[in-house]
Chains A and B, each alone.
Chain A
C-alpha cells in the first residue's frame, strides 16, 4: 500500500489540474462571448402578442419553450422518486413532525401560513404580467408546508398517499395532457392556440405550482421520520 501522503498529493495534483482545466474552459467561454447581445430578445418581443401573456419570461417558459418546463417538472418528480427510493419509502405515511415545537413557531405558523398561501397565489397570477410564476409560487407553498411541519403540524403528510402523489405528478400530467391535445388538434406539440393560450398557461402554472410545492416540501419532510431523534444523540 502506498504511503498516505503520496496518495494524497497525487490526488491533489490531479484535482488541481482538473480545476485549472475547468477554469480555463470557463474563462475561454466567457472571453469568447459575442460583444453584442446575440439573444432571441427581438424574436420573443415580436411574437409576444401571440403568447397569451404579457411577460416575456413567462411567454418563453410556458409557451415558446414549454417543453423545457415540462421536462423540468419531470426532473423534480424524478428527484422525489429517487429520494423516496433511497429512503426505501413509498410515501409519507408514518411521518411525524418534531415533538414540542417552540411556541413561537406554532404561533408563527397560524399567522404566516395563510399569508404565504396568499403570496403564492399572487405570484402565480403576477407571472402573467411581471416577474413571478409557477416556480416562485411553488417554492413559497413548499416553504409554508415545511414551516407547518416544523411547527408540529402534519400538513402535507396528513394527506392520503394517493392524493399527495397525484398532486406531485399533476404538473407533469397537466403538461402531458396539453401536449397530447395540441398535438392531436393543432398538429404542433405544445403549440398553444393564441386565443386561449393565456388560460392554458394559467392552468398549467396552477398545476405546476401545486406539484412544485408538494415535491419540494416532500423532499424535506420525507427524510425526517427515518432520522434519529435529533438533538439527543450526537
Chain B
C-alpha cells in the first residue's frame, strides 16, 4: 500500500512539473489556459495527499474552476481582438 502511494505521489509530482512546463512553453493561449486548469486539478489532488482537504477544495473551485473560466474568457477576447504589436505600450489604442 505504501509503495503504491509512493508511486502515486511520484506520478503526481512528475505530472505537475510536466503540466507546468508545458503550460509555460506551449505557443497557444487557449492550450495554455487548458493546461493551467489541468494543473489546478492535479494541484488539488496534491493538497489532498498533503492532508489539506480545505485547500484542495479551494484550489479545485477557485484555482482550476473560476480562474480557468476568467482566463478562458480573457484568452478568447485577446484572440478575437485585432492583433497589436507587443512592443506598443498597452495604453496605446489599437491601430
Contact = CB atoms under 8 A, between A and B. Distances in A.
A131 B66 contact: no
Interface in B19-76: 53-54, 56-58, 61-62, 65-66, 69-70, 73, 76
Q: Which of B54, B73, B80 gathers the greatest number of chain A CB atoms within 10 Å?
A: B54
Interface in A218-234: 219-220, 223, 227-228, 230, 233-234
A130 B53 CA distance: 9
A136 B54 CA distance: 9
A216 B58 contact: no
A136 B57 contact: yes
Contact of B65 (A143, A223, A227, A233): A143
Given A143-B65, A143-B66, A136 B58 contact: yes
Contact of B80 (A130, A135, A216, A234): A234
B79 interface: yes
B77 to A, nearest CB: 6
B61 A57 contact: no
Contact of A133 (B54, B79, B80): B54
A74 interface: no
A80 interface: no
Nearest to B72: A220
When A and B form their complex, which 5 residue pairs have the shortest distance between CB atoms, in order from nearest? A131-B53, A139-B61, A57-B54, A131-B54, A136-B57
21 contacts: A130-B53, A131-B53, A131-B56, A131-B57, A133-B54, A135-B61, A135-B62, A136-B57, A136-B61, A139-B61, A139-B65, A140-B61, A142-B66, A143-B65, A146-B69, A216-B66, A220-B73, A228-B80, A228-B81, A230-B76, A230-B80
Given A135-B61, A220-B69, A223-B73, 11 more contacts: A57-B54, A133-B54, A139-B61, A139-B62, A139-B66, A216-B66, A219-B70, A220-B66, A227-B80, A230-B76, A230-B80
